[in-house]
Amino acid sequence: MSTGLARFTANLRAIPRSFATSFYRSGTPRTDRSRSSFVFSSLFLHFHSVRVHRWALRWSTTLGLGVISISAFLITLVTGILLMFYYKPYPSAAYDSIKDIHFVVPTGQFIRNIHRWAAQIMVVAVILHMARAFYTAAYRAPREFNWVMGMGLLVLTLGLSFTGYLLPWDQLAYWAITIGSNIAQSPRELTDALGITSWFDVGGLQKLLLLGSEDIGEEALIRFYLLHVMILPLLLTALVGVHFWRVRKDGGLARPADADRRLGPPPPGTYPVFTEAPARTYHLAAVVAGKSPAVSRGPEQTVPAVPHLFYAEAGVFMLTVLICLALALVWDAPLKELANPAVPENPAKAPWYFLGLQELVSYSAFMGGMGIPAIVLLGLLLIPYLDRETAGTGEWFGGPGGRAVVLRSAFFGLAAVLLIEAFAIRFGWIRQWWPATPQIVITFLNPGTLLTAIYAAYSMWLVKRYDSTRAGALGLFTCFLAGFLVLTIVGTYFRGPNWDFYWSKAQWPAR
């Protein structure tokens, strides 16, 4: 017997085992050490830290919202690629290809439903995730920059939803994008009023860049398609990478300074901490100035990421998939008649998460569509740089005033938006009283700007009253959530043909 051949057969038989070893690199993750190296020697897993604090694994810390967001994104990615097999981004073919997906392609409608539901869940989860990070004051140093990244992700998420809206090329799509692209053009409202449009036309340029033409046609469709399937997903993936990496680099999830004491000792069943001493320490060391997030913290309340964190993440992912599948089985994604540029939908409604904006836009296109959103976004971006306090970090509604401020602001925010809406619906606005009023007055003095000013003033009052920026931020954020909620509900349920107010759909006039 040749020993060469024997070695060959032995190697052949050992392939499953040796492949697995080459894959894991550190053997099966069974000990603390191999678990650690399982995480940090994998490109995809090393976004996680090797050990996580027990505080981060509590349900109430995150409600799993970040993982729900990324899960929904992954679902849209997979279903989106599947839809791309059949979708043709050309006006004469787009609608037909969606119909094919709907009625001919096996499981086509189901996949499209999942895509749509996952997109909706992503929008909701991203907004709630932002609210979670805000209310637990998780944006504070050293996590300020990650909050900024989060704002970028929010904008990209909304952009992805909006660009996806045009692709079916039905009536719903066509008129929602007509409104959207004219919002991009709305700075003209301001430049017209100042009389400078002829040489400084930002609005026209924005619309031209978005549509590639003056009307919505093949150029607009291909641009929206490119943004939807390529540019925005790539940007979002890159930002998500930075976002995750920063979570680890900023010391994991935010937790109160006395989290260790509050948690108490781990329950006896918890996977033991440090079952074996590290076999060797790193020999590379450098003395650098500055403070690491891990300074003066022992490894005591931490558990290995394998399996605790990964089980939790996998669980939330499965739950998200389950919810998407269930919703997709029950409710179909809508498809209206073929786009008709001569007859607008009546009422023409944007996707629900933009209906709050549409309500504002029905007072002033520029302020409602661009001015107020820009102010809100800027305000959100600046929060971590204005609130340099430390009290209440990592706690729900932490900070001066706390729950009481949130409750009171919710009440105030709701009351203010309801009163202003009721007034504008009942009595109209400046144009009806004095039709000759110049537009610039209405641009700066309308229910939307008034509401923003009232909220801002209320928040400043809270800052003074509690002597704390955090209290003001809590109030402002709560007010804006309340305003967003009410405006969205009014836009969704109480606006009918000609954007008139109706108590219910049953009262809509027959056409």
Partner 1 sequence: MNTPAQASPAPVARRSRLDPELIPRRDFLGLAAIGSAFLALGFATLGMLRLPKAAVIPAPSRRFRVNLPESLAPGSPFVPPGRSVAVFRDEGGVFAISLICTHLGCIVKHVESGFDCPCHGSKFAADGGVTKGPAPKALAWLEVRKAGAGAYLVNEGKEVTPGTKEPA
Secondary structure, 3-state, 73-140: HHHHHHHHHHHHCCCCCCHHHHHHHHHHHHHCCCCHHHHHHHHHHHHHHHHHHHHHHHHHHHHCCCCC
By beta-carbon proximity to partner 1, the closer residue of 45 and 231 is 231
Asked whether position 348 contacts partner 1 by CB under 8 A, the answer is yes
CB of 243 to partner 1, least distance (A): 24
Helix (H, G, I), strand (E, B) or coil at 501: strand
Of 320, 358, 393, 468, the one binding partner 1 (CB under 8 A) is 358
Neighbours of 277 (CB within 10 A): 8
Distance of CA 269 to the CA centre of its chain: 36
- CA–CA dist 136, 393 (Å, integer): 6
Tell me the Cα Rg of the chain.
27
Of 396, 444, 499, 502, the one binding partner 1 (CB under 8 A) is 499
- Mask of contacts with partner 1, 451-470, x by CB under 8 A? --------------------
- Mask of contacts with partner 1, 197-236, x by CB under 8 A? --------x--xx--xxxx-xxx---x-------------
CA distances from 375 to 261, 264, 370, 480 (A): 40, 43, 9, 12
Of 134, 175, 224, 353, the one binding partner 1 (CB under 8 A) is 175
Of 237, 460, 497, 508, the one binding partner 1 (CB under 8 A) is 497
Asked whether position 337 contacts partner 1 by CB under 8 A, the answer is no
CB 365 within 8 A of CB 186: yes
Binding part of the chain for partner 1, among 106-114, 159-167, 250-258, 424-432 by CB under 8 A, reads 424-432
For residue 267, give both structure tokens. 């329950």
CB of 282 to partner 1, least distance (A): 33
CB of 363 to partner 1, least distance (A): 6
- Mask of contacts with partner 1, 273-302, x by CB under 8 A? ------------------------------
Asked whether position 364 contacts partner 1 by CB under 8 A, the answer is yes
Asked whether position 272 contacts partner 1 by CB under 8 A, the answer is no
Asked whether position 100 contacts partner 1 by CB under 8 A, the answer is no
By beta-carbon proximity to partner 1, the closer residue of 132 and 188 is 188
CB 86 within 8 A of CB 161: no
Of 498, 504, 506, 510, the one binding partner 1 (CB under 8 A) is 498
Helix (H, G, I), strand (E, B) or coil at 449: helix
Q: Which residues contact 302 (CB under 8 A, 6 or more apart)?
A: 51, 52, 53, 54, 273
Of 56, 83, 94, 179, the one binding partner 1 (CB under 8 A) is 179
- Amino acid at site 104: V
By beta-carbon proximity to partner 1, the closer residue of 352 and 499 is 499
Binding part of the chain for partner 1, among 6-14, 47-55, 177-185, 385-393 by CB under 8 A, reads 177-185
Of 159, 204, 251, 347, the one binding partner 1 (CB under 8 A) is 347
| DSSP assigned state of 281 | -
Pairing state of beta strands 302-304 and 51-53?
A: antiparallel
497: left (phi over 0), alpha (psi -120 to 50) or beta: beta
Asked whether position 251 contacts partner 1 by CB under 8 A, the answer is no
For residue 62, give both structure tokens. 């995150």
Binding part of the chain for partner 1, among 27-35, 195-203, 439-447, 470-478 by CB under 8 A, reads 439-447
CB of 432 to partner 1, least distance (A): 5
- Amino acid at site 272: P
CB of 402 to partner 1, least distance (A): 40
Of 181, 301, 302, 452, the one binding partner 1 (CB under 8 A) is 181
CB 86 within 8 A of CB 109: no
Asked whether position 363 contacts partner 1 by CB under 8 A, the answer is yes
By beta-carbon proximity to partner 1, the closer residue of 268 and 435 is 435
CA distances from 75 to 71, 78, 116, 241, 287 (A): 6, 5, 10, 17, 44
CB of 453 to partner 1, least distance (A): 19
Give the residue among 483, 501, 475 at the shortest CA–CA distance from 360. Answer: 483
Of 435, 505, 506, 510, the one binding partner 1 (CB under 8 A) is 435
Give the residue among 177, 210, 205 at the shortest CA–CA distance from 191. Answer: 205
Residue numbers at the binding site for partner 1 (CB under 8 A): 175, 178-179, 181-183, 185-186, 189, 192-193, 205, 208-209, 212-215, 217-219, 223, 341-348, 358, 361-365, 428, 431-432, 435, 439, 442-443, 497-500
